[in-house]
């Protein structure tokens, strides 16, 4: 084989390896669901327990109240938003080695993006169609990811 062809082959191999290193691994839908369930048990359930049995007199009073569930969702939203903004992940996402990053720069998200993502999640969960988006997109982004311009990636 001629030297030129060998040199050309080595350059194409180098380009392929650098492209593979720069490739982003999007988090799978199954891992995202598992992380969500983990977050519910680690963050939301303790909040509801504290509101029900420490702040109020029990489940009957909690069920009769209109503000108690709203307070629980609000507290969960604040904690969720701060964790995403500060660390880029919640305990569930950390357990499954995922991180929420900006969709264009793949860097840490801003506080505004974290707030928009939570509000978008409430909207997505309400209308349900936003949670179906990842099944039809290559980048696995949900409606709340599109609203906040974020993406969930798997850390290497």
pLDDT tens track for 96-128: 999 999 999 999 999 999 999 999 999 998 988
Report the alpha-carbon distance of residue 50 to residue 45 in Å, rounded: 9
| Structure tokens, 146 | 């599109």
**53 inside domain:** yes
**40 inside domain:** yes
User: What's 55's DSSP letter?
Assistant: I
2 vs 134, which has greater pLDDT?
Answer: 134
Q: With bands split at pLDDT 50, 70 and 90, how would you rate the model's confidence at 17?
A: very low
pLDDT (tens digit, 9 = 90+) per residue, 27-49?
A: 999 999 999 999 999 999 999 99
Report the alpha-carbon distance of residue 142 to residue 51 in Å, rounded: 30
* pLDDT value, residue 21: 44
Q: With bands split at pLDDT 50, 70 and 90, how would you rate the model's confidence at 72?
A: very high
| Structure tokens, 8 | 């050309």
β partners of residue 152: 100
* pLDDT value, residue 23: 78
**pTM score, whole prediction:** 0.81
Report the alpha-carbon distance of residue 123 to residue 19 in Å, rounded: 36
E strand segments, 74-149: 98-102
**19 inside domain:** no
**140 inside domain:** yes
Report the alpha-carbon distance of residue 66 to residue 46 in Å, rounded: 19
Long-range contact pairs involving 20-24 (C-beta distance under 8 Å, separation at least 24): 24/106, 24/151, 24/153
* pLDDT value, residue 1: 59
**149 inside domain:** yes
**133 inside domain:** yes
Is a pLDDT exceeding 70 seen at residue 4?
no
| Structure tokens, 131 | 């949670």
Q: At what angle do helices 111-127 and 67-87 cross, to 10 degrees?
A: 130
**18 inside domain:** no
Report the alpha-carbon distance of residue 132 to residue 148 in Å, rounded: 17
Contact 122, 135 (CB under 8 A): no
* Residue 104 domain boundaries: 26-154
Give the count of domains, the chain: 1
């Amino acid at each position: 084989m001629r030297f030129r062809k060998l040199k050309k082959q080595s350059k194409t191999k180098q380009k392929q390896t650098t492209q593979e290193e720069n490739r982003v691994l999007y988090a799978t839908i199954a891992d995202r669901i598992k992380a969500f369930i983990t977050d519910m048990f680690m963050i939301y359930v303790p909040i509801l327990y504290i509101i029900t049995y420490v702040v109020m007199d029990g489940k009957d009073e909690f069920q009769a109240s209109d503000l108690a569930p709203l307070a629980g969702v609000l507290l969960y939203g604040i904690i969720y938003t701060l964790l995403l903004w500060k660390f880029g992940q919640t305990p569930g996402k950390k357990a499954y080695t995922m991180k929420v990053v900006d969709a264009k720069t793949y860097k840490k998200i801003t506080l505004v993006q974290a707030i928009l993502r939570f509000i978008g999640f409430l909207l997505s969960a309400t209308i349900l169609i936003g949670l179906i988006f990842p099944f039809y997109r290559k980048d696995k982004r949900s409606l709340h990811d599109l609203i906040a311009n974020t993406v969930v990636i798997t850390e290497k």
